[in-house]
Structure 1
């Protein structure tokens, strides 16, 4: 007699993927939070960015970092789910390439809007840390066809 574990059965595969993807989003946000703590609190870097026309300056706080990481993770999850339906055989490869391109493009924001070299470096680091957690974690969950 053979028994299927909950993660091995075909019926439970989507549920297991949802759980793993949820953990990936949480891990991405936790990594961003940790990077923010190290950069802003322990190293004392002021993560300030120019807003609007460039005159106003805003400090990037913990809430903004966590929300941005969660939004990025959910966006990655949604785009992976769409690709699994559109190109099921190549969803993982296409999504990974797309995710890396989006991550690289996201670096333009901190490089352009950061007020100091330290702020730019710290904000780029936040983007990279979050991406280094989300991209492999979500790619690993792509459905196998």
Structure 2
């Protein structure tokens, strides 16, 4: 039985608080990893090549990219829930694929081992928070 558009809208509306919390948790987690890297004196600088100056991975950049990628993930799930029968399964496979692809530049970048480790942990942390929390949907009712 396929859900009616109204039923689908209700599920999405009820899911919004949990999913917004997921974005906040992912952002907080990557911010804490950035702070830990600073406390451990990890040089979060990535060479850009072609004569460009190295890029410092700053806290605003970490927060901004985490929020942007989280919103894109939420948006993709929202669209899939409106259009696909197995939306959460499709979205989970897509999210894992995006995670794996996002790690390629981290390993290919010219950076210290510490920087690559912290950046990889940030990517995996975002996925570890978002995938289960966005998949789950609405808060359980008692």
* Greater relative contact order (CA < 8 Å, ≥ 6 in sequence): 2
Q: What does residue 122 of structure 1 align with?
A: 118
Q: What does residue 45 of structure 2 align with?
A: 48
Q: Size of the alignment, in residue pairs?
A: 132
Q: TM-score, normalised by structure 2?
A: 0.84
Residue 91 (structure 2) pairs with residue 71 (structure 1): no
Q: TM-score, normalised by structure 1?
A: 0.82
* Alpha-carbon distance in structure 2 between the residues aligned to 1:10 and 1:92: 13
Q: What does residue 101 of structure 2 align with?
A: 105
- CA contact 1:49–1:110 (8 Å) conserved in 2: no
CA RMSD of aligned residues (A): 2.0
* Alpha-carbon distance in structure 1 between the residues aligned to 2:62 and 2:82: 31
- CA contact 1:106–1:127 (8 Å) conserved in 2: yes
* Alpha-carbon distance in structure 1 between the residues aligned to 2:54 and 2:14: 43
State the shift of 1:114 in Å: 4.1
Relative to its length, the structure with more helix (as a share) is 2
- Per-residue CA deviation, residues 45-71 of structure 1 (Å, 9 max, x unaligned), is 011112252642111010000011101
- CA contact 1:47–1:114 (8 Å) conserved in 2: no
